[in-house]
A = this chain, B = another copy of it.
Amino acid sequence: MQQHFADQLIQRIRSLGHPLCVGLDPHLDRLPELFRCGSMSPSDPQTGEAVEAFLAAILEQVAGRVAIVKPQIAFFEQLGWRGLRVLENIVLKARQHDLLVLLDAKRGDIGSTARGYADAYLGVQPAIECDAITLNPYLGRDTLAPFLECAHQHKRGLFLLVKTSNPGSGDFQDRRLESGLTVFEAVAESLSESSQGLRGSTTGWSSLGVVVGATYPGQSERIRELLPNALFLVPGYGAQGGSAEAALRGFVRGAGGILEGGIVNSSRGILFPSGSATADAKRWERAVDEALDRSIDELSTAATA
């Protein structure tokens, strides 16, 4: 039987000693020499093969070293239906490597359409079986219903955008409401009850989590006050400028005094580290391996500090 998402994730993180999540964002123009083939244009069928070979190799490197990977679906959609087939294969491979899979899709739609997305990625017979998904709350709480149902029935995880890592995230998220709360605080507050309802019996952490950018540590602390048991998905660490300390700002001391309460994502920092743009397989492996070591060290150190 499928285990509770947050329990499973936190238990794996505890045994690994760090919350690193590897983002699978296959930027075509950054793909290492080793994997490039054909024109590398999005419409060329060979491009999908190159992306699949690259990500399969990445999965080999990260298997057993991280708890979870996060494919960003936009980069697969860019290759059309062939890209979605690559995503399907990569998600299967990740599961075979015993990695949890969080689909970064940021979906949000109404009624029967939301149901369509929920069925596609979290349902009983999903097109691509993921453990968790990212969602956009702007359309309102009723649009979360089919996803919450999947979270309860099929033990999936949900990460709602609250405070994103981009420079413009303040445009609407930081606006102050008459009530005194900002918009992002109001979103966080509105998730409180659902989040409590999805807490795991082993760790107490909730499968209804939130996205909180590493670039806004002050806001992380505020969101943690509002949602004491929500898992955080923290993007913006590394390439986007957030430090390990900033990324862990909304985490709390758990068993053994180690900071826990979510995952910290790195995409480009692991997928395309310096020295990895090579045609030499050994050098490529070393470059990715070292990047992985560095991020894991940095996050383990910050989590125990």
Contact = CB atoms under 8 A, between A and B. Distances in A.
Contact of A140 (B74, B78, B173): B173
B175 A125 contact: no
A109 interface: yes
Contacts of A117: 74, 77-78
A287 interface: no
Interface in A123-173: 125, 127-128, 136-143, 161, 164-173
Nearest 3 CB-CB pairings of A with B: A140-B168, A142-B168, A80-B127
A78 B127 contact: yes
19 contacts: A25-B113, A42-B125, A72-B113, A74-B116, A75-B113, A77-B84, A78-B116, A78-B119, A80-B84, A81-B127, A104-B113, A136-B139, A140-B170, A140-B172, A140-B173, A172-B183, A175-B179, A175-B183, A176-B178
B88 A80 contact: yes
A27 interface: yes
A242 interface: no
A161 B142 contact: no
Interface string A254-281: 0000000000000000000000000000
A222 interface: no
A190 B173 CA distance: 13
Contacts of A25: 112-113
Contacts of A170: 140
Interface of A: 25, 27, 41-43, 72, 74-75, 77-85, 87-88, 104, 106-114, 116-117, 119-120, 125, 127-128, 136-143, 161, 164-173, 175-179, 183, 186-187, 190
A78 B126 CA distance: 7
Residue with the highest number of chain B CB atoms closer than 10 Å, among A111, A171, A178, A179: A171
A46 to B, nearest CB: 15
A42 B119 contact: yes
A116 B77 contact: yes
Contacts of A119: 42, 78
A164 B139 CA distance: 7
Contacts of A87: 81
A119 B74 CA distance: 10
B139 A166 contact: yes
Contacts of A81: 81-85, 87-88, 127
